[in-house]
Structure formats: structure tokens, C-alpha cells
Amino acid sequence: MIIAERKGLDRIIEMLDGRRSILVAGCRSCVSVCQAGGEREVVALAEALRLHAASKGMDRSIDTVTIERQCEKEWVMEIAPLIEGKDAILSMACGVGAQIMQQAFTDVQVFPGLNTEGMGAPEVQGVYEERCGGCGDCVLHLTGGICPVARCSKSLLNGPCGGSQDGRCEIDPEKPCAWDMIYRSLVRLGRPDLLEINIPPKDWSHSHHGGPRRVVRKRAVLSEEEVA
Amino acid sequence: MTDCRSNLQRVLDSGNFAVTAEIGPPKSASGEAVQRRARLLKGHADAFNLTDNQTATVRLSSMASAVLCMQEGVEPVLQMTCRDRNRIALQSDLLGAASLGIRNILCLSGDHPRFGNQKGAKGVYDLDPVQELMVFRMMRDEGKVWGGDTLEQAPQVFLGAVANPFADPLDLRAVRLAKKVDAGAEFVQTQAVFDLDRFERFMKQVRERHLDERAHILAGVIPLRSAGAARYMRDRVPGMSVPDEVVDRMSKAADQRDEGIEICLETIERLRSIEGVHGIHIMAIGWEDIVPEIVDRSGLSQRP
Ligand code: SF4
Ligand code: SF4
């Protein structure tokens, strides 16, 4: 899932300066699971914005909606009637959702209410950790099911670096060292031999470094007749 | 054919116990500090490492510092981290270094930007140090850049790596070194040794894998200037191991500076007796002036 965090209230207020009619739009998918942009967060933020407006004597109306999946046009189009008369949409989805929103409603400016952190999972209740860097060429079979790209602070493919200590990463004792985990996992899997193999330079052209990616699934693409 | 080996490589190849030392480039556009240190240290070690924006802090470039050293007749070891350059820049800089006459290259990942004065920097890490060695070796031995394009002239360089026997997991430390040696490391400089017991255990693993026969290992030492410095390294520097006895000895000393030098000399003596250790690497950042005294009192002042 996508992990995101809400921007600070001050930052959001600053972004929305001068807007009079705002739609706060959440998403019931990933950002709801990580408690950043689900219905509850949308309602709470809208309330905070209303209070702020009232305290400043601002003439400002704030509506809310929470969409099933803000990253899919079909779901987003359903809220078209709510956009009438709005001069701002505060998207409480990930960066993808916010963009689909802007793509769908080209005349109203969309503001990002969240900071999208990456792809990850809940580690324990309330703690969400990055797990995948979307490198486009997965090597998890070589690293004991632990991603060196997203989970090692230096994305080392032949780690660990000299700063790994007591299973912690050198940059932050709060963060586990990915290579310590890879080591333990490969030992458990009976594959410590994989630790001895040099992984050659990675082809980053499959990642974002090769330009924005586009996947075409031929069998799913509609033919011209079908579109018509 | 002329011998294009570096002085450091010749010293090590001939079986002599090598001495290298570190020179930290200044936060300055003037190379005067590097030249002054080069003049001061000339003849006291076989080659000098020029650190590459150490602790991710912006400094005079290691490449420029290496050239400044050569102008003073001192042989450099050019440190090249994976943090700041992608494979295009690393390969280009290797050619540049070779064209300027730099012969010793040290490949390393580099401290994370988190530690320096550019915390918002985007760390590159296109290659890791093992891959950096693979690429550089290919350039030298096959005369090709990564991907196979042929070079008009291959860089003649002596390739080095770092090793940290004190980081975790311990059992992976010799494995990691083996990977670097497989990738092309011919000399290895280690993290500073204070914990000799752990270092001996590491060297045992290194010998079991015969890595000492395939690469020259230079053990790192740091002369301690104060008990505070010892404590800081023990408690605050990830991947360093400073035993409590060392910290105690420093705190109780009447003259901490002398005690620091004394500990350093004792360490060097023990390191020299460890099978497979082919030299020492002195890291006295900010205290470079002490290097001649340490080398001299270790009985290593007659450089080959
Ligand atoms: S190796 Fe690449 S695709 Fe696989 S988990 Fe890591 S970043 Fe994601
Ligand atoms: S300590 Fe571990 S996770 Fe952190 S940079 Fe080093 S190898 Fe990567």
C-alpha cells in the first residue's frame, strides 16, 4: 500500500489562502489504512479548517467527500456534482489520487493535503514502514525477501556498510539495518551462499531513472471497435 | 616497459610493511592547507589518503587535493565515494584521475548525507562499492567502460577498498571483504582498531579465506587526543568499537595527549605481529602533525 502523512495544518492553511469554497476529498484505500486521508481524517481536518476560518472571521465554506479510490477516474467522476462552485479541492489521497483529481476536474485547482512517502506496510499498529522502491527489476529472491533498494539507507546491493551496528542502521537507531535482516533471513532460509555472490551494477533504467514508466497490458487494452 | 605501479603498490608488492596516512581537505577554496600538510608529512608514509567530502560535509575535492599533494612530491590515495556520483561521473573521474597521474584509488560507499552539512542532499548510490570496484577493474583490465565501450587508453590504477571489522554482523565482515577482493580490491584499509581482540578474530576469518594472500590489508589506527574523543567514538560513532579499558586509560592519564600516542604505538606494535596485516593506515584528521612522531616512534620511519 501507499504510505502517506498529512501535511501540517499551518502548511495547509497557507496553501489554501484566499480560497472561499473548498472540497476536502479523502480516499478509502491505502491512505485510509495508514490513517492519513480516510473519512475520519477528512472530517477532522474539515472541522479544523472551519474553526480556523471562524476564528479569522473568514467567509469560507468547506465540504467533504471520501472517494472509494481516488486513483481511478471512474470513481472520481462520480463526485462531479460536488465540484460545482468550488474554487479549491484539497486532496487527502496520495500523489496519484491528487493528480487524477486534477486530471478529472481541470478547472478547479487541486491542493495536496498529504505528503506521499512511498510503498510500504503497517509494521505494528500505527507504524508504517517503506518496503519497496519500485525499482522495476525485483531482486528479493537474492536478498531473503527483504528489499535492499528501499530498506537500506544507501540502497546497497552488496551490503552491509561499515555503519551497521546491533542490527540498526547507521543513520538512525530507530531504523533496522536492512542488511542485518537480509543476513538473518538468508541464514534461516539455508541460503547464506547468496551472501557471497557479487550483484553487478543494477540497471536503473527499469526504475524511475529511465523516465516515467508506462505499462501496457495488451489483453486489457480495448480495441477501436470496443471503444466505439 | 616502464613500471607504472604506484609507490604504495611497489612497497606492498615487495613485502615491506606499508604506512599510509590520511589528509583531510579543508573547507576552503585554497589548497594551501593541503600543501602545507603534504610538505610536513612528506617521506613519513608511502601514500596519503585524500578523503572525499568526509562525513558528507562539503570540502575541497579529493581530486584537487590529490593533485596538490602530487605537486609537493607526495603520493595520493584518491578516495571516491558512491554517495555523490553516478557511474558516469565515477568512470569519468577515474579516467581524469589516471590522466593526472593518480595511481591509488580507494572505493567506498561514503557517509550518509544525514551526517553532514547538506542533510537535504540526494544520495546517489547508483553503484555500491563492490560494484564500483567491478567497474573500475573492468576499465583497467579490459580497457572498457561498463557496458563494453572500448577506451582508447585504460587507466593504470591500484584499487583499494575499506573494511570495517567492528561493524555487525561480525560473521558477515569477512564475507563482505571477500566480495570486495573478488570484485577487484588489491589493498584494503580498515576502520580504526582499538578492539584488538575483535580485530584478531576478524583476521582469523580473513586468513581462513586466504584473503590476506589476495589483497594487502592495512590496519587503521587513530591517535586519541583526549578521553572525550575516545568516549565520543565509543558511544556516538556507528561501527566503531572502543573498549572501556581504552576510555578508562585515557580518562586517568595525567597527560591525555601522551597517553593517546602511547596507546596508538602499542596498537601498532600488536598489529605488526598479526599475520596477514601488511601495513597501517593512520587517520589523524585534524591532528595530521602528529603522524611523523607516530611513524618515527614505531620504528617505521625508514620508508622503502
Ligand atoms: S527490489 Fe525493487 S521491486 Fe523488489 S522490493 Fe525492492 S524496490 Fe521493490
Ligand atoms: S547500516 Fe545497514 S541499512 Fe543502514 S546504510 Fe548501512 S547497510 Fe544500509
The least confident of A91-100, B65-74, B168-177, B210-219 is B168-177
Please judge whether A199 and B131 are an interchain contact, meaning their C-beta atoms are less than 8 angstroms apart.
Answer: yes
- Residue B252, C-beta contacts closer than 8 angstroms, at least 6 positions apart: none
For ligand 1, the distance from its centroid to the CA atom of residue A136, given in whole angstroms, is 7
Atom of ligand 2 nearest to the CA of A153: 5
Q: What is the ipTM of this complex?
A: 0.94
pLDDT digits (tens, 9 = 90+) for B216-240: 999 999 999 999 999 999 999 988 9
- Residue B151, C-beta contacts closer than 8 angstroms, at least 6 positions apart: B95, B139, B143, B144, B145
Q: What is the CA radius of gyration of chain A?
A: 22
Q: Tell me the ligand closest to A154's alpha carbon.
A: 2
**Mean pLDDT computed over B57-65:** 98
Environment class of B36 (CB within 10 Å of its CB; exposed 0-12, middle 13-18, buried 19+):
middle
Environment class of B20 (CB within 10 Å of its CB; exposed 0-12, middle 13-18, buried 19+):
buried
pLDDT digits (tens, 9 = 90+) for A211-228: 999 999 999 998 888 887
pLDDT, position A170: 93
Assign domain A2-117 to its CATH architecture: 3-Layer(aba) Sandwich (3.40)
- Can you give the residue ranges of every domain in chain B? 7-297
pLDDT digits (tens, 9 = 90+) for B91-115: 999 999 999 999 999 999 999 999 9
> What is the assigned CATH class of domain B7-297?
alpha beta
For ligand 2, the distance from its centroid to the CA atom of residue B85, given in whole angstroms, is 19
pLDDT tier at B88 (50, 70, 90 boundaries)? very high
- Asked if the C-beta of B57 comes within 8 angstroms of chain A's C-beta atoms, the answer is no
pLDDT, position A228: 76
Residue nearest to atom 4 of ligand 1 (CA): A138
Please judge whether B239 and A204 are an interchain contact, meaning their C-beta atoms are less than 8 angstroms apart.
Answer: no
Q: Give the closest-approach CA distance of B113 to chain A in angstroms.
A: 9
Dmax (CA) for chain B in angstroms is 62
Question: Residue A44 pLDDT > 90, yes or no?
Answer: yes
pLDDT, position A223: 85
Please judge whether B167 and A198 are an interchain contact, meaning their C-beta atoms are less than 8 angstroms apart.
Answer: no
- Asked if the C-beta of B304 comes within 8 angstroms of chain A's C-beta atoms, the answer is no
pLDDT, position B115: 92
- Asked if the C-beta of A166 comes within 8 angstroms of chain B's C-beta atoms, the answer is yes
> In terms of Cα–Cα distance, which of B162, B205, B169, B183 is closest to B54?
B162
For ligand 1, the distance from its centroid to the CA atom of residue A148, given in whole angstroms, is 8
Question: Residue A162 pLDDT > 90, yes or no?
Answer: yes
**Mean pLDDT computed over A12-41:** 97
C-beta of residue B55 within 8 angstroms of C-beta of residue B111: yes
pLDDT, position B1: 53
- Asked if the C-beta of A185 comes within 8 angstroms of chain B's C-beta atoms, the answer is no
Please judge whether B82 and A154 are an interchain contact, meaning their C-beta atoms are less than 8 angstroms apart.
Answer: yes
Interface probe for A, chosen from B176, B182, B190, B234 (most Cβ of A below 10 Å), is B176
Residues within a 6 A CB radius of ligand 2: A 152-154, 156, 159-161, 163-164, 169-170, 177-179
pLDDT digits (tens, 9 = 90+) for A132-149: 999 999 999 999 999 999
- Asked if the C-beta of B284 comes within 8 angstroms of chain A's C-beta atoms, the answer is no
**Mean pLDDT computed over B122-131:** 97
pLDDT, position B139: 98
- In whole angstroms, what is the distance from residue B193 CA to residue B99 CA? 35
**Mean pLDDT computed over B178-191:** 98
**Mean pLDDT computed over A48-55:** 97
What is this structure's pTM? Answer: 0.95
Mutation to probe ligand 2, out of A156, A157, A180, A182 (largest number of atoms < 8 A from CB): A156
Mean pLDDT of chain B: 96
pLDDT, position B154: 98
Give me the residue from B127, B162, B179 closest to A162, CB to CB. Answer: B162
C-alpha cell at B105: 584509488
- Can you give the residue ranges of every domain in chain A? 2-117, 133-206
Backbone angles phi, psi at A18, to 5 degrees: 85, -5
For ligand 2, the distance from its centroid to the CA atom of residue B84, given in whole angstroms, is 17
pLDDT, position B150: 98
C-beta of residue B241 within 8 angstroms of C-beta of residue B195: yes
pLDDT, position B286: 86
- Find the Cα–Cα–Cα–Cα dihedral B285, B290, B292, B293, rounded to 10°: -150
Percent pLDDT > 90 in chain A is 96
Contact list, A165 vs chain B (CB under 8 Å): 167-168, 238-239
